[in-house]
Structure 1
Amino acid sequence: MSLVVEAKQTAEQRFRAAFDRLKQGNPEILARTATVSQNNVAKEANCDPSALRKSRFPSLVAEIQHYVEMHKGEAPDSERQQMLKRRRSNRKTKDLINDLRRQRDVAAGLLLEANTLIVDLNEQLADANKKLNEYKPTTTTINSDKFR
């Protein structure tokens, strides 16, 4: 059915449809990662790249060139580039996890030292209280009858 529709379309209509599909990132013939270019528009329209000439389709070729200029540097990443980005992201995540583990271990060590110090200080306080109690004079009650 699409062949019948294509036969009724003019060459310019097929090129424009191909151009739109490439702009939207939904090519039917080329790979999804295909960039918009004059050659790719012709290939997506299932034509030879030499068929899309500036002399035959000046406004369309101008639109394509303008689009390419406006979207320079916005080309979709290749699969390899996407894989490298994922690796970098994973590496950053792994580094973050390792850093957090180190911080946790340091904090656990400091907590253990603090607990040990608290135990030592409590023992020292108990010893000091014991010695203080040894030096305190014992209180005796004075029989008030003797002194009258």
Structure 2
Amino acid sequence: MKEVKIESTLTVYDNFDELPKSVASLMQHAIEARQKSYSPYSKFSVGAALLLDNGEIITGSNQENASYPSGLCAERTAIYYAGAKYPEAKIVKMAIIAGSTIKQTMSPIPPCGACRQAIAEYEIKQETPIEIYFMGEIGKVVKSNSLANILPLVFDKSFL
């Protein structure tokens, strides 16, 4: 038997104002996208913004449905739109803001497991890491240099 230790390195900014200007701008797009969330059931709204290597910024927000599995997260809404509209473009950075519409969210909220898997697919496809920044409504912002930091044991096409 052998024990294996898996570690992740993340950067934590104390607040939005500490972000590099380009990231703050991308996060602002995510904030605006969050306002377009359709989340009447969970009361949890999410906005995502992607910076593509062609300079385009793609946004998405979570879209719920009374038949819960039929909804889609903000991250996947943005990723799939980017993949459909700009199939050759690479995703350089992703900004995510999330929180309850009932109470203020101060803790950084990372992508859910399904979104991590979708991000992994695109990171593997493009053969370059995607910087991911995520936050709650206020407070700290977390940066991961790659999806691999937040999903270290990824399931990919090599298993198929």
TM-score range, shorter chain: under 0.3
| Greater RCO structure (CA 8 Å; 6+ sep) | 2
Structure with greater proportional helix content = 1
